[in-house]
Structure 1
Amino acid sequence: MQINVFSIEKKEDFKKEIEEFIKKSKQFANVKNITLYSKNLAKTNNPQQEYSKIFEKYTQNGFNIILTPEGKLIDSYEFSKFFEHSLVNFFIAGAYGFDEDFKSKGVNISLSPLTMSHKIAKLVLFEQIYRGLSIKHNHPYHK
């Protein structure tokens, strides 16, 4: 199983913590942290559209999950069902979020009704990936 987390970042925060969750997840799946950035972001009047352009080619294969504040709230058990797919892609935009066209390319979820920076959301996502894989494989971490 392959899990990819795509995010827009110039500088990565919480790198050590994220790497720890990736390491723990290795027993269940190959998890990748893929950070992307475009110089065009600093120049654009439409960052949502630029995010979509950056991520577009990664939506062609696999099961796509797009993190959006208005996405569906789910619990960890429902989240773990995403891992029934052999290739799962998660997408985290920057501060401006995704345009409607990009949101239509996958399942839209929200990690919380609270507003959090995309960097904090990313850390929470990696913890939930490990928790979801633990649930799927009946590992005691999730209890």
Structure 2
Amino acid sequence: MLREMTITGGTCFGRSPLTVTGLKPASFFYGPNGSGKTTISRAFAGYGSLQLEPEWHDGTDMAVHVYNRDLVDQILRESNRMPGVFVLGENSVDAQKRLEQIQMTGGERDRAVNVYGRMQTSHSVAQDRQRGLLTV
């Protein structure tokens, strides 16, 4: 069990290291945006220049698994990676792939916008003809 940890390198903590003591088997971190919650999870994940010095209850290092928005983003980007199915569910990964197909250049969204533009032009031409402003 983690008893204490010191984190250095996080911009939200300033130049002084952050030391967290009194940790329990289940400890929760909550606070407003910018207070350091994500920085703490990134320190556990070994992200960037953050350094984590954990102090374990019995001195034995334990495996740490970090579930944060960085992991979710990575799984969604690497859709062929197996953990995405288990973490997010197969339907979520499929939905993300479908959304990418719709939003890509030349995809369904672009085609729908193109059709809509042509329909508006045709409608305007029909209205002008009806008013007698255009001759065929």
TM-score bracket, normalised by the shorter chain, equals: under 0.3
Q: Normalising by structure 2, what TM-score?
A: 0.23
